[in-house]
Structure 1
């Protein structure tokens, strides 16, 4: 059998032009027509020299050694550690150019699914930095120091950070404070190489309006030595703290956070506001991480839905009830469905907190519940879906079509799965009736949220 000859070799220097960016924000240089080289911190049109650091049969990875020609859209922020960790892959690209690229990504995703759509200019941020209200970061003892940050792409080397650039700066300060306390007390941290040790992550949430702070220590082990001293020190050091929690989540379970929470101090949840409504947020709650843009996202989705006072609205993947509660005063009734028990419990509490009397939340898997509703003959006027990145299941799509809502509002964090699902809905009688709206929930990253409105074509 003839040996495959690859177009590049390990450690080779290679010069080429950056053609485009991948979905994850890495640049693509073509070594030949069917062989891409992926590189970080690359902007389309730049001519670069790279060192090949990884090779396989279908692609290679390179590290830029020098820019032979830089893009006029490059604005270096002197934060290369964000590039190393991959947490803000677009950080050195002009924000206006990021938005234009994201618009094109949305158009291409729908086109690749067989749909030709108009895409509105993305709704961006005035200040596209320091916006996240939640972060979860790993800890590791490395070279004698306890570090917090993010692991370098494809490795167990932790890139130390104190300025994450996309978090609320108070969250960054809280992480550093907690890290220093844990370091001073020599607390055990999980080592991914040895697969042993205690604390895996520190999670911090901070209310955008309330400024209430939650700290969650995520542990591989149920027992943490010196835990009393840790609690005492964290409480004394963080004046905004309202909730300190231990989440026992063994690495063997392959989840970031488990449902197993122990309140170490304060409350089991914090509060924040969204569009004038008050929400209870627990350690496991899904709550959008960019509050100011979330308000715009939900307002645009509600406007696009053309809600009427007589409407019955179904809210799928409803989380703690943020979308349904925010539109309840515009419609007759909201029914939400969510598979996470804690989220449904919080949604019910949030209904009471906000004195909403026309919204209810059901604990069930959304596709199964949609099938039940279709069998019961329930006919919502509007269905709003905000699924995980994997998108909708065929079962949910078919059950939606059986319920015959007039309008379907699809909020998505993945243009690829949104395009795929909308193409399937189009075959079943639902048509995209307005331009897709991108909303930039995640500046400096390659992610973008979209709102797509489909209407039922009546035979």
Structure 2
């Protein structure tokens, strides 16, 4: 490899990688160029040299793709929160189909060449879809700002108008920034960790109710700010405080305390309503969550005699879609607040065939089987890290005959399918665009236990 940092080279982009970057070859060396599109001829500068590839920054597009568009967001290139807004939306969806194929080709689970990859289901209007935000709070030259870190940096981008963020939550963040300044609230600085460091805002699409979490590195007096904020924004129903003293990239600490308002807000999906506490997980794109859960219901294809396990159940939202269709639903989650929500939600909907426990699935499922419970189907919706190795082994040990895997990371999905495909046949993979303008997608995988597995 004769390439060096700062060297400028011409490059033809052959394809796009899983992170949305353009990929080409320069004298047989693999080159990754963020911002470049398939088919383009570009001029770029080497920024990093690795053993088997190099990374480069885009300097000029000499021949543009006919699918290149001008991003509507003025801070798109600075922010890094979106990666493919410069690609026409219908081609973004095609790219996400290809991302799944790339991941499968890399890990090669059994029979992957013949998997049915269904076209990604997109949005009619792919803007302002994020109903939840988590912005970092910092001070710059004495002025409070809120936003996201620029990609691969600790440089905070001040965001006042995000094209993919729900407009009401964005307006509330802007209001909070003004009040933090007004009330001279201590703000976290990395050299001196002594104040507000992160703000979470979530808005329920069905009810318009809003909840906030202030994440702080020490006890901070927020009552005057909260009083003024809730008068200005009457849809705010919950304000919570999370204390995180650790100097890590983890957003939350262990303890979350309600400072003002109700414990939960109300949200709805498909034909049921449920409660969300501030720390409970729920999909950030409510409109596409309707589509996603509909696909899960279609893929699992249950009967009224089925017993279902909903692993990583959160507040129970996916499992509730089946509660009236099956004999029983059992779920677990490691976050106790989510399990409390799940139990309360089930009670409020009158379900008597549900059961929820706080803990790890790989510990709880074997105990249930020892106690005589047998599942006909299992749903897994893990975090981006994919299935816990012990849970994967547990699933393969008990092997319910039907399974649906909901994934937000195609790479860890493909990795897990290497093991799962030895016991299960992959019927199809249906991608749902939960995150327009980003390189991420959500996939629903229908699996059926192989006939030779008892």
**Equivalent residue, structure 1, for 2:124:** 126
- 1:200 matched to 2:197? The reply is yes
Q: Distance in 1 between matches of 2:44 and 2:182?
A: 41
- 1:23 matched to 2:18? The reply is yes
- 1:457 matched to 2:450? The reply is yes
CA 1:339–1:196 in 2, change beyond 3 Å: closer, same or farther? closer
**Equivalent residue, structure 2, for 1:439:** 432
Q: Within 5 A, what are the aligned runs for 1:287-366? A: 287-366=282-361
CA 1:419–1:374 in 2, change beyond 3 Å: closer, same or farther? farther
Which deviates the most, 303-312 or 234-243? 234-243
Q: Distance in 2 between matches of 1:253 and 1:64?
A: 32
Q: Distance in 1 between matches of 2:2 and 2:194?
A: 42
Q: Distance in 2 between matches of 1:424 and 1:89?
A: 31
Specify every segment of 5 or more residues in structure 2 that has no aligned partner in the other structure, as ranges: none
Aligned residues: 448
Q: Distance in 2 between matches of 1:48 and 1:7?
A: 17
TM superposition shift of 1:96:
0.5
- 1:95 matched to 2:85? The reply is no
TM superposition shift of 1:145:
2.3
Q: TM-score, normalised by structure 2?
A: 0.93
Deviations 1:99-130 (A, max 9, x none): 00100111222232222212001111111111
Which deviates the most, 125-134 or 105-114? 105-114
Query: Are the counterparts in 1 of residues 147 and 158 from structure 2 also a CA contact under 8 Å?
Result: yes
Query: Are the counterparts in 2 of residues 374 and 402 from structure 1 also a CA contact under 8 Å?
Result: no
Query: Are the counterparts in 2 of residues 8 and 31 from structure 1 also a CA contact under 8 Å?
Result: no
Q: Distance in 2 between matches of 1:139 and 1:55?
A: 34
Specify every segment of 5 or more residues in structure 1 that has no aligned partner in the other structure, as ranges: none
Q: TM-score, normalised by structure 1?
A: 0.92
- 1:421 matched to 2:412? The reply is no
Q: Distance in 1 between matches of 2:154 and 2:417?
A: 39
**Equivalent residue, structure 2, for 1:176:** 174
TM superposition shift of 1:6:
4.6
| Partner-residue secondary structure (3-state), 2:266 | strand
Q: Distance in 2 between matches of 1:374 and 1:83?
A: 52
Q: Within 5 A, what are the aligned runs for 1:359-438? A: 359-427=354-422, 429-432=423-426, 434-438=427-431
Deviations 1:305-346 (A, max 9, x none): 111011111111111100111210111110112121111111
Equivalent residue in structure 2 for 1:42, among 36, 47, 51: 36
**Equivalent residue, structure 2, for 1:66:** 60
- 1:7 matched to 2:12? The reply is no
Equivalent residue in structure 2 for 1:51, among 45, 49, 61: 45
TM superposition shift of 1:39:
3.0
- 1:270 matched to 2:236? The reply is no
CA 1:13–1:185 in 2, change beyond 3 Å: closer, same or farther? farther
| Partner-residue secondary structure (3-state), 2:355 | strand
CA 1:39–1:185 in 2, change beyond 3 Å: closer, same or farther? farther
